[in-house]
Amino acid sequence: MQSFRRTGQRRQLLIVGCGALGGALALRLGPCASVTVLDPCPRARVKVPVFHDPAGLRGRSFDGVIVATKCYDAARALAGLKIIGAARRVLFLQNGLLDLPRIAHGLPEAALVRGVTTSAVGNVKGKPVFHYQGRFFLACDRHKQAAGWFCRLLSDAGLKASLVSRSSRITWAKLIFSAVMNPLPVIEGRGYDVLRTDACVWKSVRQAVEEGKAVARALRVRLAFDPLKIIKRVRQGDLKGIAHRGTLFEDRRAGRPTELDYITGALVRQARRQGLKTPALDLILRKARKAGA
């Protein structure tokens, strides 16, 4: 993969959603591309042009678009891109079970790519930061060239990026990880260090991950990475930001909608469709709802 920097090319990039992930990407990708942000109410401070209304970008042409909104904002992001009307490649970086074929009907001219990241990001005093720089996984089953383009862009910014053969492999691996980990700070009222200080929590987490893997196996999905291996690294204190409480906790504290039902709830619903019992996941979902997530 040839670097854009070596070719002297400067790409026009639009990032939709300026929360923790979108803001962190805007900062990292700035030296590699001309970055513009679209977000009606950005929560991260970034030194790039920020538009609150897609109509202000109508007629603009972008080499690539990265959608980094929450799961429940995917439809609004899609509507905004249809208004702008000039996106050659679109990378969706979201945690839920995004229905990419359905979205493809709304953007017939764009090459759509599904992606996830194992990075931990957050806002510290309004500035987006990578608490832990993990890896970006991009699926190349729909548009291999577009996936390679985004992979090259992320790599130019010093971010780890890999191509994976099927979207299901990355979406399910990240779904299981997020479904178990995201609610923990809400339930326990503290950071992820609870994994190494509370034996009962650690047992419940391991069981919940195995339940999620059982759902993936029932659907014949081979995971791109093992969610439990990453969780074990968090527990061992190997990853920076172990005191980080995650966006689900921050959204709940700020009174914003959360992704609980789009992630943990979605995994439990899939288990029910497969006739599988998930007592540990059910307990996590129930406790998180009781805590107001």
3-state secondary structure the chain: CCCHHHHCCCEEEEEECCCHHHHHHHHHHCCCEEEEEECCCCCCCCCCCEECCHHHHCCCCECEEEECCCHHHHHHHHHHHHHHCCECEEEEECCCCCCHHHHHHHCCCCEEEEEEECCEEEEECCEEEEEECCEEEEECCCCHHHHHHHHHHHHHCCCEEEEECCHHHHHHHHHHHHHHHCCHHHHHCCCCCHHHHCHHHHHHHHHHHHHHHHHHHHCCCCCCCCHHHHHHHHHCCCCCCCCCCHHHHHHHHHCCCCCHHHHHHHHHHHHHHCCCCCHHHHHHHHHHHHCCC
Does 96 share its domain with 24? yes
pLDDT value at residue 288: 95
Question: Phi, psi at residue 139, to the nearest 5°?
Answer: -85, 135
Query: For residue 178, what is the domain's CATH number?
Result: 1.10.1040.10
Q: Residue-wise over 255-275: b if at least 16 C-beta within 10 A, else e?
A: eeebbbbbbbbbbbebbeeee
Report CA 35 to chain centroid distance, whole Å.
Answer: 19
CATH of the domain at 118: 3.40.50.720
Quote the domain boundaries for residue 209: 170-290
Q: How many domains does the chain have?
A: 2
d(CA 118, CA 134): 5
Note the pLDDT of residue 239: 59
CA dist 46 and 26 (Å) reads 7
Tell me how crowded residue 277 is: count the other CB atoms within 10 A of its CB. 11
End-to-end CA distance of the chain: 42
Q: Is the pTM of this model over 0.75?
A: yes
Q: Are residues 29 and 139 in the same domain?
A: yes
Encoded tokens for 278 = 């998930």
Q: Check whether residue 139 and residue 199 sit in a common domain.
A: no
Domain boundary among 164, 192, 218: 164
Look at residue 243 in the predicted model and tell me its pLDDT. Answer: 61
Same domain, 133 and 211: no
Contact 257, 251 (CB under 8 A): yes
One domain for residues 159 and 275: no
Distance CA 149, CA 135 (A): 16
Same domain, 37 and 51: yes
Q: Are residues 196 and 211 in the same domain?
A: yes
Tell me: do 154 and 191 sit in the same domain.
no
Tokens of 243: 């005191």
The confidence score (pLDDT) of residue 58 equals 92
Q: Tell whether 106 and 228 lie within a shared domain.
A: no
Domain boundary among 132, 164, 196: 164
Residue whose token pair is 């790599």: 155
Q: Are residues 232 and 121 in the same domain?
A: no
Output the six-digit token pair for 172: 């399910």
User: How high is the pLDDT of residue 274?
Assistant: 97
Give the per-residue pLDDT at 129: 83
Bridge partners of residue 114, in order along the sequence: 92
Residues 146 and 192 in one domain: no
Residues with pLDDT less than 50, the chain: 2
pLDDT of residue 167: 95
Last residue of one domain, picked from the residues 164, 184, 219: 164
